[in-house]
Structure formats: structure tokens, C-alpha cells
Amino acid sequence: VLAEVIKAFGVPENAQRMEEARDNACNDMGKMLQFLLPVATQIQQDVIKAYGFSNDGEGVLKFARLIKSYESQDPEIASMSGKLKAMFLPPMTLPPHGAGTGGVATT
């Protein structure tokens, strides 16, 4: 089921919906919750309802809790879970601190 959910995010229509939501959110966490999370939830609902989960936010939460419970037991599930989260959660970066950093990224 988790693999199907990840695959659903790659469907061109869903990828476009996620991209538009990301653009609207502008990396603002509050706006991510407002724009991106509902789209991500809907994409997951469309897949998991075929597996007996309710077709609402509660179904997605139950699915997420179930995946979390298997992460420590199965490295493949843990890896796929990380991929799924990366699709709709912004990377958590610490703000630069200390003198002389200037906020310039190096590669």
C-alpha cells in the first residue's frame, strides 16, 4: 500500500497539484499546512480507501500510524516512509547562526 501511495504522488496530475501547492506555500510552514497538506492527504486517501481505510483525514492518520509501527521492524518500510514524508514535508533546516556565516551556501 505504501509503495502505491508513493507511486500516486508521481502521477503527472498529482505531481502538478503538489507543485502548485508548494508554489502557493512559498516554504512557509503555516502555508504548507494550508495548501500542501490537504493535497497530500487527498492523494493518499485516493489510494488507501481501496485497502479498508476510511476516506477522510482519520483514515490517513491511521495509515500513517500503521506505517510508523512497522518502520523499526522493516528497513524497506522505513525507507519508503522517509520518501513519502519528503514529498510533502519541507526539509527541516536550522537557521544559520554564529559570526561570519553570511548565509552563503557552499557546494
77 is in which domain, residue-wise?
1-88
- Is residue 70 included in any domain, yes or no? yes
In a domain, 106, yes or no: no
Alpha helices by DSSP H, the chain: 2-10, 12-25, 29-31, 37-48, 57-71, 75-88
Q: Stretch 42-49: mean pLDDT, rounded?
A: 95
- If one counts the domains in the chain, the total is 1
pTM of the entire structure? 0.78
Can you tell me the mean pLDDT for 20-38?
Answer: 87
pLDDT tens digits, one per residue of 13-24: 999 999 999 899
- CA distance to 18, 19, 32, 45, 87, per residue, from 23 (Å): 9, 6, 10, 22, 14
The predicted pLDDT at position 27 comes to: 77
The residue among 66 and 105 whose pLDDT is bigger is 66
Residue 87 — very low, low, confident or very high, per pLDDT cuts 50/70/90? confident
Residue 61 counted as domain residue: yes
The CA-CA-CA angle for residues 59, 62, 67, to 5°, reads 125
Does the pLDDT at position 88 exceed 90?
Answer: no
